[in-house]
A and B are shown apart, each in its own frame.
Chain A
Amino acid sequence: MLNYIFGGIILLSVIVGIAFGNGSAVADGIIKGAEESVRLLTTMAGMMLLWSGVMEIASKGGFTRIIGRALSPFLRKLFRKAGNDEKALSAISMNVSANLLGLGNAATPFGIRAMNELHRLSGNSGTASEDMIIFVVMNTASIQLMPTMVGTLRQSYGSETPFDILPCVWISSAAALFVGLTLAKALMRKG
Chain B
Amino acid sequence: MDLFMPVFIAVVIAFGFIKKVPLFDAFADGAKEGIFTLLKIAPTLVGLIVAVNMLKASGVTDALCTAVQPLAEKLGFPKEIVPMVLLRPISGGGSTALLTGIYRDYGPDSFAGRVASVLAGSTETTFYAITVYFGSVNIKKIRHTLVSALSADFTAAVMAVLTVRMMF
Residues of A within 8 A of B (CB): 1-2, 5-6, 9-10, 12-14, 16-17, 20, 22, 25-26, 28-30, 32-34, 36-38, 40-41, 44-45, 48-63, 105, 108, 111-112, 115-116, 118-119, 126-128, 132-133, 135-137, 139-142, 144, 146-147, 149-151, 153-155, 157-169, 171-173, 175-181, 183-184, 187-188
Contacts and interface: CB of A to CB of B under 8 A. Distances in A.
Contacts, number: 342
Contacts of A49: 31, 34-35, 38
A13 B19 contact: no
A29 B56 contact: yes
Given A172-B155, A178-B155, 7 more contacts: A10-B54, A29-B53, A34-B46, A49-B38, A60-B16, A115-B136, A172-B160
Contacts of B164: 165, 168
A54 B15 CA distance: 11
B75 interface: no
A173 B122 contact: yes
Interface of B: 1-2, 4-5, 8-9, 12-13, 15-16, 18-19, 21-23, 26-31, 33-35, 37-38, 42, 45-60, 87, 89-91, 93-94, 96, 99-100, 103-104, 107-109, 113-114, 117-124, 126-127, 129-134, 136-145, 147-149, 151-153, 155-156, 159-160, 163-164, 167-168
Contacts of A153: 96, 99-100, 103, 108, 117
Q: Which 3 A-B pairs have the closest CB atoms?
A: A56-B30, A180-B152, A52-B34
A52 B30 contact: yes
Contacts of B91: 1-2, 5
Query: Most chain-A Cβ atoms within 10 A of its Cβ — which of B8, B50, B109, B163?
Result: B50
Contacts of A149: 96, 120
